[in-house]
Amino acid sequence: MATFDAVFVGSGINSLVGAALLARSGWSVCVLERNEEPGGCIRTSTDLTLPGFTHEVLASWHPLFTGSAAYAELKDELDQRGVEYVNTDLPSGTFFPDGSTAFFTTSLEENSAELDRHAPGDGAAWERQFNAFMANADLSFGILGTELWSGAGLSLGRKAYRRLGRKGLLEFTGSTLSTCRDWVTGTFASEQARGLLAPWVLHTGLGPDQATSGFMTQVIAAALQLGGMPVPVGGGVRLVAALAGIVTDAGGEVRTGADAERILVANGRAKGVRLGGGEVVAATRAVVVSVTPTQLYGRLLGGSDVPARVSDAARRFRYGRAEMQIHLALDAPPQWRGADADRLARCPVVHVTPGLDGVSRAVNEAERGLLPAEATIVCGQPVALDPSRAPDGKWIVWVQLQELPAGRVKGDAAGEIDTGDGTWTEALREEYADRIVARLGASITNLREATLKRIVLSPADIEALNVNLVGGDIYGGSCALDQNLLWRPLAEAPGHGTAVDCLWHIGASTHPGPGLGAGSGYLVAKELTKPPLPHRLLARLPGRS
Ligand SMILES: Cc1cc2nc3c(=O)[nH]c(=O)nc-3n(C[C@H](O)[C@H](O)[C@H](O)COP(=O)(O)OP(=O)(O)OC[C@H]3O[C@@H](n4cnc5c(N)ncnc54)[C@H](O)[C@@H]3O)c2cc1C
């Protein structure tokens, strides 16, 4: 029986980072992945469309990773292993149906000027908001980088109290609960400014009318201005290979085709994992699982070893809206309509949307089970950053549609598509993709003739690629407030420890939620490698570093 200090289930970014950090600390580590390739949502493919085109099948953009504590700690080693990031000074733009545009750059001055172009005064409003945000950025980013259900979470609260006072803390907390709609309409006069930032809230798993979406919009806007939109040259596969290399070079294993079917528990303590074929991989110090609560408390623990109220809560865990991906290989760069064509082609992420109300309407339609009439099209252009992704003179379009019903499709808000029994058949998938591509074709004038190949992934296809993406929810569970922050994954089991000793829960379903920031893998690795309490107390004595 193979035995390791730690066994990880799943090989997404959180597991790989956690495993790499433990391996660097001298732990023997095994990562078990049921798919044939490691990486989870990082899935780079050179055979998705045509030879010479390198597609990110799922996750594409790495600002959360390059801005993370994990990257700060691993950067030198990742550099040595050939992980090279390219970035831009023009991370995002929005293309509106009337042909107008709005852009967001990495410069405060340029953003002010751009916002003033649409409504004088909006630039100054953004400067005020950004400066106010930065004055407490350590608290805001701290919420997302701290184990909230712990002493560290309490310390963050105390720090906020000392700095802001009782009323200030109340105000700060209240402001984090506001909606994106309230924040953008209260801050900006122009619809373009609102439509520039509101679509970003979709990338946090929320909609613009949900609690905390105003805070998340500000976090993203600040992160875009500070960090741009980096991607790894050659695709995320390079990062996956480098992190896996850290594990294996330290003597650990990254095993693919290894489906964990049961966590083995004895005397209230996790002892290892049983694989589908019956093989047992033993863990002497930790079992760390990057799965949904549904899988953890259902399949992997079989409803035993934890209090019934936890298993019951896990059964009630909610999944969010579903997603569709459209991948296009183009024969030529895109010709965007209008005067800003060149700038739009330089922008890695362009949102095509009527604006704030357009996003709100599409989210609402999806939440009522309908295909939206006018979805927000996230048009990704990776070649604008990394020319190695396509042959010379050619182009890739990576389309993300984040406003689709969770579960069965009940109908079409536009009244055009027959949604049948509501399951994602090939016909439904392609018909909906036709609507999106036709709309995109009204914005990119050469789209139709330049398209060499198109591949569409429905929510069902996305779930088939990664079991954690239940129903095509790419964020590992609804990010509504009652399932987020302190309450993620479950109010009955907050944080990353579990009721079973030595069993840790990480991944998108846990705090700080989805994205490539690797926050949960990092937090658990730090907790596991924390020096014992007497050492920490000794280290505080005068004269000790
Ligand atoms: C289409 C799409 C686009 C996205 N775009 C971005 C983006 O551009 N930028 C960004 O920051 N975020 C993006 N995200 C979100 C981000 O990619 C995810 O939140 C994040 O990668 C999740 O990482 P994770 O550590 O939770 O594990 P995951 O990436 O979900 O990986 C979990 C792994 O565990 C494996 N597994 C599950 N159960 C078992 C088992 N029993 N035994 C063995 N293996 C198991 C799965 O096969 C999977 O490989 C995107 C997600 C998707 C799906």
Q: What is the percent of the chain with per-residue pLDDT over 90, rounded to a whole number? A: 95
Q: Residue whose CA is closest, atom 18 of ligand 1?
A: 515
Atom of ligand 1 nearest to the CA of 323: 1
Which residues fall within 8 angstroms of residue 111, CB to CB, at 6 or more apart?
A: 104, 105, 123, 126, 225
Atom of ligand 1 nearest to the CA of 258: 43
Q: 539 alpha carbon to ligand 1 midpoint, in Å? A: 38
How do residues 236-290 score in pLDDT, each as one tens digit? 999 999 999 999 999 999 999 999 999 999 999 999 999 999 999 999 999 999 9
For 300, list phi and psi in degrees, rounded to 5. -75, -35
Q: What pLDDT shows up at residue 534?
A: 66
Among 57-66, 264-273, 300-309, 329-338, whose mean pLDDT is lowest?
300-309
Q: Read off the pLDDT band of 539 (50, 70, 90).
A: low
465 within ligand 1 shell (Cβ under 6 A): no
Q: What pLDDT shows up at residue 304?
A: 85
In the numeric block, the tokens 């002010």 are attached to 112
422 neighbors 408 (Cβ within 8 angstroms): yes
Q: What pLDDT shows up at residue 1?
A: 87
Q: 476 alpha carbon to ligand 1 midpoint, in Å? A: 8
515 within ligand 1 shell (Cβ under 6 A): yes
Q: 468 alpha carbon to ligand 1 midpoint, in Å? A: 7
Residue 449 has pLDDT above 90, yes or no: yes
Q: 384 alpha carbon to ligand 1 midpoint, in Å? A: 25
Q: What pLDDT shows up at residue 532?
A: 74
Residue 344 has pLDDT above 50, yes or no: yes
Predicted TM-score (pTM) of this structure:
0.96
Q: 323 alpha carbon to ligand 1 midpoint, in Å? A: 13
Residue 136 has pLDDT above 60, yes or no: yes
Type and span of the H or E element at 519: helix 519-528
Tell me the β-bridge partners of 265. Answer: 270
518 neighbors 12 (Cβ within 8 angstroms): no
Q: 392 alpha carbon to ligand 1 midpoint, in Å? A: 31
Q: What pLDDT shows up at residue 531?
A: 82
**The pairing of beta strand 489-490 with beta strand 92-95:** unpaired
Q: Read off the pLDDT band of 545 (50, 70, 90).
A: very low
Within 183-252, strands assigned E span 231-232
Q: What is the percent of the chain with per-residue pLDDT over 70, rounded to a whole number? A: 98
Q: Residue whose CA is closest, atom 21 of ligand 1?
A: 41
Q: 293 alpha carbon to ligand 1 midpoint, in Å? A: 14
State which of 8, 229, 275, 290 you would mutate to test the pocket of ligand 1, scoring each by most atoms of that ligand within 8 A of its C-beta.
290
139 within ligand 1 shell (Cβ under 6 A): no
Atom of ligand 1 nearest to the CA of 509: 26
132 vs 51, 135, 218, 228, CA distance in Å?
49, 5, 11, 20
362 within ligand 1 shell (Cβ under 6 A): no
How do residues 33-53 score in pLDDT, each as one tens digit? 999 999 999 999 999 999 999
How do residues 110-122 score in pLDDT, each as one tens digit? 999 999 999 999 9
231 within ligand 1 shell (Cβ under 6 A): no
How do residues 470-481 score in pLDDT, each as one tens digit? 999 999 999 999
Q: Residue whose CA is closest, atom 48 of ligand 1?
A: 40
199 within ligand 1 shell (Cβ under 6 A): no
Q: Residue whose CA is closest, atom 22 of ligand 1?
A: 508
Q: 288 alpha carbon to ligand 1 midpoint, in Å? A: 15
465 neighbors 43 (Cβ within 8 angstroms): yes
| N-terminal to C-terminal alpha carbon distance within the chain | 42
56 within ligand 1 shell (Cβ under 6 A): no
Tell me the β-bridge partners of 316. Answer: none
Residue 520 has pLDDT above 50, yes or no: yes
Average pLDDT over residues 19-44: 98
245 within ligand 1 shell (Cβ under 6 A): no
Q: 205 alpha carbon to ligand 1 midpoint, in Å? A: 14
Residue 536 has pLDDT above 80, yes or no: no
Q: What pLDDT shows up at residue 403?
A: 98
Atom of ligand 1 nearest to the CA of 516: 11
516 within ligand 1 shell (Cβ under 6 A): yes
Average pLDDT over residues 11-24: 98
Q: 469 alpha carbon to ligand 1 midpoint, in Å? A: 7
Q: 290 alpha carbon to ligand 1 midpoint, in Å? A: 9
Secondary structure in 3-state letters for 150-190: CHHHHHHHHHHHHHHHHHHHHHHHHHHCCCHHHHHHHHCCC
501 within ligand 1 shell (Cβ under 6 A): no
Q: What pLDDT shows up at residue 537?
A: 63
40 within ligand 1 shell (Cβ under 6 A): yes
291 within ligand 1 shell (Cβ under 6 A): yes
Mean pLDDT of the chain: 96
Atom of ligand 1 nearest to the CA of 64: 11
Can you say whether residue 40 is alpha, beta or left, with left for phi > 0 and alpha for psi between -120 and 50 degrees?
Answer: left
10 vs 31, 90, 251, 270, 306, CA distance in Å?
7, 34, 19, 17, 21
Q: 296 alpha carbon to ligand 1 midpoint, in Å? A: 15
Task: Measure the CA–CA gap between 219 and 462, rounded to whole angstroms.
Answer: 27
259 within ligand 1 shell (Cβ under 6 A): yes
Q: 44 alpha carbon to ligand 1 midpoint, in Å? A: 13
Q: 203 alpha carbon to ligand 1 midpoint, in Å? A: 14
Atom of ligand 1 nearest to the CA of 41: 29
Burial label, 211 (beta-carbon count in 10 A; 0-12, 13-18, 19+): middle
Q: Read off the pLDDT band of 293 (50, 70, 90).
A: very high
281 within ligand 1 shell (Cβ under 6 A): no
